[in-house]
Amino acid sequence: MKFEVTILGSSSSTPIFNRNPSAQLLNVNEKYILIDCGEATQNQLLNFGLKANRIDQIFISHLHGDHYLGLVGLLSSLHLNGRTKPMDIFGPAELKEIIDLQFKHSQTTLRYPINFKPTADNNRYRIFESYDVVVDSFPLDHRIPCTGFLFTEKQRLRKMIKSKIEDLSIPSDMIALIKKGQNFTDKKGKVHSAEELTTEADQPKTYAYCSDTICSWKYLEYISNVDMLYHEATFMNDMLERAEETFHTTALQAGKIALKANVKKLLVGHFSARYRELEPILEEAKSVFPETLLAVEGQTFQI
């Protein structure tokens, strides 16, 4: 089971120092989910050898340009490259108006349908579910309506003990049934319980994405105990006043949030253009929460 995230963009507001605005690609068992879509997202997909046509869901956190201005370009390229399968897009209700308006005035009719599903920023909602993953949105605390996203693996079936398959000559068409709890009767008539033939499945992994937010502690309940938390860390703490003025978070605050939420790992990003070097940001967050990583573009993180 694959559950990993690749960073496509980690800059705030503007591209600078070879960093691009926000975008991430979540790989869930070889199914692609795009989280935010700043400028140059499709270029980054090309740069890192990731096929855009494998993306079937796009989640947009809010309508500041550094989180969605690459979206229409990406959708247009998929159209020109012959995509026909539907695309699910989740984001603020006004985003549909923006998409429709741009395609209207370019006289473009996409070859594929868009299933647009508006998000709400006033509570936690289950907004998507597939065989592999469930996705909840939850409110963040930014200057405009903004949502975070919680991605949770579906609980897998129990694992077969390979040696039992060989020793008991278990036919392949029985394996799925045994994983679901059905007992198996061998050639001698002895009944073997499903629990005897299997082991517990891995616990589902969780990934929380917090794009833009002031450190208000309001959303702690939604991110508690996740395996990996992505949290913005736009400024260092000597810029706390600026962070509060713009409804952003400092690296020190991000570390405190991760500590209070009892997460396993913290991934910080959305770096201000004022910082050429990112190591000081990392060290500031790690001073509170040692299990902190930088959201460096092109890197893939196992959740």
Q: Which residues form the catalytic set? A: 66
Burial of residue 180 (CB within 10 Å: 0-12, 13-18, 19+) is: exposed
Show the tokens assigned to 100.
């429709």
As separate numbers, helices (DSSP H) first and strands (DSSP E) second, the chain gives 10, 18
The enclosing H or E element of 153 equals strand 147-153
What are the beta bridge partners of residue 252? none
Q: Is 185 helix (H, G, I), strand (E, B) or coil?
A: strand
Residue 232: which of 250, 259, 207 has the closest Cα?
250
Residue indicated by tokens 């997460």: 263
Q: In angstroms, what CA-CA distances link 188 with 41, 59, 170, 181, 193?
A: 60, 54, 13, 21, 15
Nearest to 283 by CA among 268, 272, 298, 297: 268
Cβ proximity of 158 and 196 under 8 Å: no
